[in-house]
Copies of this chain bind each other. A is one copy, B any other.
């Protein structure tokens, strides 16, 4: 089975981000259909004709998006008609639906929109509840051509209500499940070495296929396990087994799965242990509090945060000593310690987290380098401070520090 998506629209080739392809490929994956290629092409008749004809030769299923509008540069219908030899025929029901769409808005239907009521000979209609252009499904020489409009908000209901059930009925033999493991604290190459033995084994289970991909972000590395097959129980088992293998080598570096974030993982742990938390931030400027409070229900354990962006604020709010600031400077292990202990004490929480560092882009006036940071954690068991040296832009460094701080907290909870 070979599947291609063709995205049509000149705007996609001068800087507009294409989200339709990601949406469609993700939805197809849920019914075990895998996209082999995605092609973006402008509103240009000869170009599109080439792309479509080549794609038609290679593919069992082609899904196009865009070019179904009423204007002169909407050329998908005409091009597909020419390439397939299927005539375009006026469909009176579609014309009526489009006129009604305008009537509801108390606007006379512009003449141009009539164009949208032409269907390829033999095509079925994909109703469009949010726009004037209906989609079309054409079966031909045991190939399937699906035409969809461009706007993502129109595509989504059309895909879910019509295209997906149609394809499911027609093709679902297989299933595909995806499991994502999120790691933090290890470089991509280190992860790769550690998991090499797992991903290099050829795994064959009757009718099932296994693949992996690694996605490195600046705050961590994700591992994606993709298993397809026909037997849901076998697929689930395979995922469970593979998960176990990854956990065996990566252990606590895996902080969560699928939609979990580091802050939601931390939230679950702290809630389970019935502990509370307060944060004193300098260089991260509120980002740790922001991330913690992105989790619904975080007020159960997150009590308060203070962003002390000046020496006087560190002294007045957290009780950091003048002496410590003078002797070691604001970016120091000693100040991080006093900040963490200070916020824990005034908030009356079980944990106090602190950050003090140089987010950049300029080094400190005393010559401390960009990316240097001290992260403190005060708990009922005492206070620890860790030193890190990060790289990147100001925003990236803030991200990395916040991630490291959340991870230190996590490690104190497991």
Interface residues in chain A, defined as those with a beta carbon under 8 Å from any beta carbon in chain B: 9-19, 21-23, 25-26, 29, 34-43, 47, 51, 54, 69-73, 104-105, 107, 110-113, 130, 132, 151, 153, 178, 187-190, 192-193, 196, 199-200, 211-216, 218, 224, 226, 279, 281, 284-290, 292-294, 296, 298-299, 302-310, 313, 316-317, 346-347, 359-362, 391-392, 394-396, 398
> What's the nearest-Cβ distance from chain B to residue A150, in Å?
9
Oligomeric state, in copies? 2
- Find out whether the CB atom of A14 lies under 8 angstroms from the CB atom of B178: yes
Checking B37, B310, B359 against A41 with a beta-carbon cut-off of 8 angstroms, the contacting residue is: B37
- Find out whether the CB atom of B112 lies under 8 angstroms from the CB atom of A213: no
Closest to A51 in B: B37
Residues of chain B within 8 A (CB-CB) of A14 are 25-26, 29, 34-35, 178, 226
Closest to A58 in B: B50
- Find out whether the CB atom of B299 lies under 8 angstroms from the CB atom of A286: no
> Given A14-B25, A153-B218, A304–B307 Cβ distance below 8 Å?
yes
- Find out whether the CB atom of B215 lies under 8 angstroms from the CB atom of A11: yes
CA distance A40 to B289 in the complex (A): 38
Closest to A3 in B: B13
> Given A286-B289, A362-B296, A130–B392 Cβ distance below 8 Å?
yes
7 additional A-B residue pairs with CB within 8 Å, beyond A112-B192, A293-B398: A13-B34, A14-B25, A14-B29, A15-B25, A17-B19, A286-B287, A305-B305
Residues of chain B within 8 A (CB-CB) of A37 are 13, 39-41, 47, 51
Checking B12, B199, B294 against A395 with a beta-carbon cut-off of 8 angstroms, the contacting residue is: B294
> Given A178-B14, A286-B289, A292-B285, A42–B36 Cβ distance below 8 Å?
yes
Closest to A313 in B: B304
Residues of chain B within 8 A (CB-CB) of A11 are 213, 215, 224
CA distance A37 to B347 in the complex (A): 57
CA distance A43 to B17 in the complex (A): 22
Closest to A20 in B: B17
Residues of chain B within 8 A (CB-CB) of A303 are 309-310, 313
CA distance A42 to B34 in the complex (A): 10
15 pairs, A vs B, C-beta closer than 8 Å: A13-B35, A15-B26, A16-B215, A36-B47, A69-B214, A70-B192, A153-B396, A286-B287, A289-B307, A293-B309, A296-B360, A296-B362, A305-B306, A306-B317, A313-B347
Closest to A317 in B: B304
> Given A26-B14, A110-B189, A189-B113, A73–B214 Cβ distance below 8 Å?
yes
